[in-house]
Amino acid sequence: MRKRLLDFLDVRLGIRDILEQNLTKYLLPRNVNIWYTLGAVLLTLFSLQFVTGILLLVYYVPNPDEAFKSIETIMNDVPYGWLIRYLHAVGSNVIVIVLLLHMLSVLFMGSYKKPREFTWVSGFILFNLALALCLTGYLLPWSQLSFWATTVATEAAGAVPVIGDGLVRFLRGGAMVGNATLGRFFALHVMVLPAGLAALIGFHLFCVRRIGISKPPFGEEYVPTEVKDKFVHEEHPGGIPFFPNYAIKDLAVISFFLGLLVVLVFFAPGLFIPPAAFEPADPFTTPAHIKPEWYFLWAYQTLKIFPSEFLGLASQGAVMALLALLPFLDRGRERRPARRPLFVTCYLLGILLFAAISIWGHYS
């Protein structure tokens, strides 16, 4: 049966050739490491978000009068609704963790360098789109946490000179977070951002496949390759086939992260969903100590450190621009961490600074 199906597809699409070129004859460097599996983990987690998001859409009502009640219904009345919602909400946090690990590993191994600038830039935009999805999704339950976290987050845009107030009104659809804000955040969260994300994931994977997997810059046999001014697909003759040799490693790490997600969903959802997320939004009562989600704490605290919010916002913009343009600024061929002491020092200090400012933001 399987052979007949393959024959049928092979005659019409040359499926055997496609499978060979992309699976069994697609060779990866022999020393390819576990960090290379994070892309597959992210693809799985994004797919899970897509599926759970569609299931949530069946019962969710994007209206301030109904939104919280519909979430309550999902959590209490819909069979396994609580599981679907927790997988979606907690899953988004796990995605941010894996995205950070993926980016950090690419930075450490210098895989963003020429000729992989497009892969890096598209990945960096994907990271920002994922954060935008988190921000817009945060408002949808219309809880106290949603309402006030969104109020604080959108208020930050007011620090932009000249257009700040207009920008806040544009984001909110009015002076205050309300019906119009929920409408536009919902449209962005379920349509605009996922469509952009899907297109960009496609482009990112195309770049990865087209230019070829980079060789990990470790081991005595590693020598920096000379990058020519014409397109060259990086081959790895004598490497290991993607399927089954490396795909099984992908599966191992995917299973590990799914296991971690299940542990968080069943045993510690409160790490990411605090009690204020289960109280309906009340525009007249500001909860004490309202804080953004952990991955926005660095930005929240930066706004408070500088003497003016504009300077805080400008410094955030500068850091993000530096990261986005890194492949165009760091043009050396060397990728071995041991031979890039300045970069590795900045890299470690950057991680420490991010963690310190986030912790400071949490306790401030």
Per rule CB under 8 A, count of chain residues that contact another protein? 32
Question: By C-alpha distance, which of 204, 195, 189, 171 is closest to 39?
Answer: 204
Is the CB of 260 or the CB of 352 nearer to another protein? 260
104 is a contact residue toward another protein (CB under 8 A): no
DSSP type of residue 236: -
Distance from chain centroid for Cα 103? 10
Binding residue for another protein, selected from 5, 58, 263, 356, defined by CB under 8 A: 263
* Using rule CB under 8 A, residue 275 touches another protein: yes
Burial of 137 (0-12, 13-18, 19+ CB in 10 A): buried
Q: Tell the smallest beta-carbon distance from residue 238 to another protein (Å).
A: 10
- Which range, of 42-50, 129-137, 282-290, 351-359, touches another protein by CB under 8 A? 282-290
Residue 251 binds another protein (CB under 8 A): yes
Q: Mind giving me the DSSP string for 51-83? A: HHHHHHHHH---STTTHHHHHHHHHHTSTTHHH
Residue numbers 40-99 binding another protein by CB under 8 A: 72, 75-76, 82
Asked whether position 240 contacts another protein by CB under 8 A, the answer is yes
**Separation between Cα atoms, residue 252 and residue 259, nearest integer Å:** 11
CA dist., res. 154 & res. 147, Å (int): 11
CB within 8 Å of 30: residues ≥ 6 apart = 236, 238, 239, 240
Quote the CA–CA distance of 231 and 265 in Å, as a whole number. Answer: 45
284 binds another protein (CB under 8 A): yes
Comparing CB distances to another protein, the nearer of 66 and 282 is: 282
**311: DSSP letter:** H
Nearer to another protein, 22 or 255 (CB): 255
Compare residues 8 and 256 and give the one whose CB is closer to another protein. 256
Residue span binding another protein (CB under 8 A) among the ranges 184-192, 210-218, 269-277, 308-316? 269-277
88 neighbors 56 (Cβ within 8 angstroms): yes
Q: Which stretch binds another protein (CB under 8 A): 5-13, 261-269, 312-320, 332-340?
A: 261-269
Binding site for another protein (CB under 8 A): 30, 72, 75-76, 82, 240, 244-245, 248-249, 251-253, 255-256, 258-260, 262-263, 265-267, 269-270, 273, 275, 277-278, 282, 284-285
